[in-house]
């Protein structure tokens, strides 16, 4: 899978990777909280926006890249639950539910577990 990442220079730390936005070059409150620390006056903490890289990826881009796998997982859990519940209550529609769920589960699993990223001869 060829995923492109668009990294932009982090304006919060000015591409250094270290937050120094508070007084006397200390880390700001947001970066202190992101590093699970308390108090103020911490110097040399990694930037909470870019994670200390100096380059940041926009949050909307990260969300867009994660939506497909999240929807696939939710779909699988929903379909498996529907099949199990209809089997447990001995629903008269069990065969229809199974016939609907089986191909969808197969397609999702085939999509995520095929070797589409490997070079082919």
The reply to whether 65 falls in a domain is yes
* pLDDT of 117 strictly over 70: no
The pLDDT of residue 116 is: 63
- Residue 12's domain comprises 7-57
Q: Each residue of 65-112: pLDDT tens digit?
A: 888 889 889 999 999 999 999 999 998 999 999 999 999 999 888 888
Q: Which two tokens stand for residue 65?
A: 């890249």
Query: Into how many domains does the chain fold?
Result: 2
Task: Assess if residue 118 is contained within a domain.
Answer: no
For residues 17 and 36, membership in a common domain is answered with: yes
CA distances from 25 to 5, 30, 84 (A): 30, 14, 58
């Amino acid at each position: 899978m060829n995923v492109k990442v668009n990294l932009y220079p982090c304006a919060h730390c000015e591409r250094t990777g270290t937050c120094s936005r508070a007084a006397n070059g200390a880390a700001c409150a947001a970066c202190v909280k992101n590093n699970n620390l308390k108090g103020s006056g911490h110097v040399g903490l990694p930037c909470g926006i870019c994670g200390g890289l100096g380059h940041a990826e926009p949050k909307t881009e990260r969300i867009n890249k994660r939506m497909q796998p999240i929807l696939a997982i939710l779909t699988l859990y929903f379909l498996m639950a529907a099949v199990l519940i209809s089997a447990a209550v001995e629903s008269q529609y069990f065969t229809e539910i199974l016939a609907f769920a089986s191909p969808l589960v197969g397609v999702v699993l085939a999509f995520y577990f095929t070797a589409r990223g490997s070079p082919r001869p």
